[in-house]
């Protein structure tokens, strides 16, 4: 499940702050956002909704995104809740080929890249799954759409324990380096993300597909995780360059460690358990690429609104395979073992004590 959980006021504020949209006006029951294709596509993608229509200008270039909005300002209703099933292709891009890849994707999608940097926190669920029962830290009153998504997330986390992500968009100059102010993550609005174990390979093994739950604009996420016995494990920084072509997202991403690589080596001389996120982030130049060859990961994604509609899933598969054919010879799309995307935790059986995560040998 994934939802667009922004109220009308919040959406207006976001548009004003980003300063990327030239006109914002409300029609009869519709929210009409005017801008160029490069800015409208990411806005559509952020909300993962197809309950929209394009107003096209010269040369059939989209110039307006018309969004049905149910409710009035006083209702504080949000945009539609949508079930999402994520399908994607994967390819690796060498660092030396990054600019060429951006040029190809920019021409393919007729837009410049949408650049973002995310701070990603990872929270490990308890040994025995218990879901999200404690909601004391979630803002009240809880909107119906948020309550619905938390219920769906609770059901999934009650059957199996997973690693969840709390994602925060940051700016390199403002939020990183010694001069940056400490970030209050409980006060910041972030995205709580869960991704299920991908489906078994199909006749098209190059495709990965899975169910996703995302809750947007959520505050106090570290407290919500702590209240439900989710343990903070680590954090990374993620660099993204995204392009959009109709309903398809093309995403180049690269992840970074926040500390030196020795701090992440098991039993290494400087390895230690981190119980809390960093107060301040290091400077951008001090980050350590997670991939030893500093490569980028290209994912080409399609989203199906109803995961119980096999015809829609097949249509999305066909779209991705057609794009793979168009980009044949440019990118080498790989068959990825679904275990690479496995965030499940082994269930601890009752009466069996968990082994320690770290064992020191020798004299004490």
CATH of the domain at 238: 2.40.320.10
CA–CA separation, 136 and 126 (whole Å):
18
Last residue of a domain, one of 75, 101, 132: 75
Is the distance from CB of 221 to CB of 185 less than 8 angstroms?
yes
190 and 316 inside one domain: yes
Cβ count near 357 (within 10 Å)? 7
174 and 245 inside one domain: yes
Provide the pLDDT for residue 345. 93
Does the reported pTM lie above 0.85? no
68 and 90 inside one domain: no
| Mean pLDDT to the nearest integer, 185-192 | 95
pLDDT above 90 (res 361): no
Per DSSP bridges, beta strands 248-257 and 288-289 are antiparallel
pLDDT above 90 (res 144): no
98 and 182 inside one domain: yes
Whether residue 356 lies inside any domain: the answer is no
* Cα-based distances in Å from 5 to 185, 186, 201, 272: 19, 18, 32, 38
pLDDT one-digit tens code per residue, 122-135: 999 999 999 999 99
| Mean pLDDT to the nearest integer, 127-147 | 90
Domain ranges, residue 59: 2-75
68 and 190 inside one domain: no
pLDDT above 90 (res 25): no
pLDDT above 60 (res 12): no
Last residue of a domain, one of 75, 96, 131: 75
| Mean pLDDT to the nearest integer, 10-24 | 47
69 and 181 inside one domain: no
What phi and psi, each to the nearest 5 degrees, are found at residue 239? Answer: -105, 130
CA–CA separation, 2 and 175 (whole Å):
27
| Mean pLDDT to the nearest integer, 272-298 | 91
Which position has the higher pLDDT, 147 or 162? 162
pLDDT band at 305 (very low <50, low <70, confident <90, very high): confident
Last residue of a domain, one of 75, 98, 126: 75
Structure tokens at 56: 């096209």
Whether residue 247 lies inside any domain: the answer is yes
162 and 28 inside one domain: no
12 and 109 inside one domain: no
Beta bridge partners of 113: none
pLDDT band at 11 (very low <50, low <70, confident <90, very high): low
175 and 324 inside one domain: yes
| Mean pLDDT to the nearest integer, 277-292 | 95
Whether residue 146 lies inside any domain: the answer is yes
62 and 90 inside one domain: no
Is the distance from CB of 95 to CB of 296 less than 8 angstroms?
yes
251 and 153 inside one domain: yes
Whether residue 354 lies inside any domain: the answer is no
CA–CA separation, 79 and 228 (whole Å):
28
Tell me the DSSP string of 202-271.
-S-TT-EEEEEEEEEEE--HHHHHHHTTPEEEEEEEEEEEEEEETTEEEEEEEEEESS-GGGGSTT-TT-
Cβ count near 72 (within 10 Å)? 11
Provide the pLDDT for residue 110. 94
What is the per-residue burial (b if ≥16 Cβ within 10 Å, else e) of 124-162? bbeeebbbbeeeebbeeeeeebbeebbebbeebbeeebb
Whether residue 175 lies inside any domain: the answer is yes
pLDDT above 80 (res 82): no
Least confident span in 2-6, 175-179, 288-292: 2-6
152 and 276 inside one domain: yes
Whether residue 251 lies inside any domain: the answer is yes
Which is nearest to 275 in space by CA: 318, 231, 225, 238?
231
Whether residue 61 lies inside any domain: the answer is yes
Whether residue 52 lies inside any domain: the answer is yes
Domain count across the chain: 2
């Amino acid at each position: 499940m994934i939802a667009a959980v922004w109220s009308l006021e919040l959406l207006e504020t976001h548009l004003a702050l980003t300063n990327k949209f030239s006109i914002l006006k409300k029609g009869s029951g519709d929210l009409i956002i005017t801008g160029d294709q490069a800015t409208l596509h990411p806005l559509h993608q952020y909300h993962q909704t197809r309950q929209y229509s394009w107003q096209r200008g010269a040369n059939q270039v989209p110039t307006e995104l018309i969004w049905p909005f149910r409710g009035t300002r006083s209702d504080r209703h949000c945009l539609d809740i949508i079930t999402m099933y994520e399908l994607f292709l994967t390819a690796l891009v060498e660092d030396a080929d990054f600019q060429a890849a951006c040029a190809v994707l920019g021409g393919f999608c007729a837009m410049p890249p949408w650049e973002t940097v995310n701070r990603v926190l990872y929270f490990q669920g308890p040994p025995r799954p218990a879901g999200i029962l404690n909601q004391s830290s979630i803002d009240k009153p809880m909107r119906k759409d948020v309550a619905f998504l938390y219920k769906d997330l609770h059901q999934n986390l009650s059957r199996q324990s997973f690693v969840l992500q709390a994602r925060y968009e940051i700016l390199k100059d403002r939020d990183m380096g010694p001069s940056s102010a400490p970030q209050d993550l409980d006060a910041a609005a972030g995205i709580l993300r869960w991704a299920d174990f991908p489906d078994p390979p199909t006749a098209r093994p190059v495709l990965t597909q899975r169910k996703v739950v995302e809750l947007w604009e959520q505050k106090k996420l570290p407290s919500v995780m702590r209240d439900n016995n989710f343990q903070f494990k680590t954090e990374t920084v993620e660099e993204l360059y995204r392009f959009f072509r109709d309903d398809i997202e093309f995403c180049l991403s690269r992840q970074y460690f926040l500390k030196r690589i020795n701090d992440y080596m098991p039993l290494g001389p400087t390895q230690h358990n981190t119980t809390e996120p960093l107060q301040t982030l290091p400077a951008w130049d001090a980050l350590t690429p997670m991939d030893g060859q500093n490569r980028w990961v290209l994912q080409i994604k399609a989203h199906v609104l109803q995961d119980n509609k096999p015809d829609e899933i097949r249509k999305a598969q066909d779209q991705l395979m057609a794009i793979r054919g168009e980009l044949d010879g440019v990118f080498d799309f790989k068959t990825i073992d679904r275990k690479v995307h496995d965030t499940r935790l082994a269930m601890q059986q009752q009466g069996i004590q968990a082994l320690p995560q770290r064992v020191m040998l020798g004299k004490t």
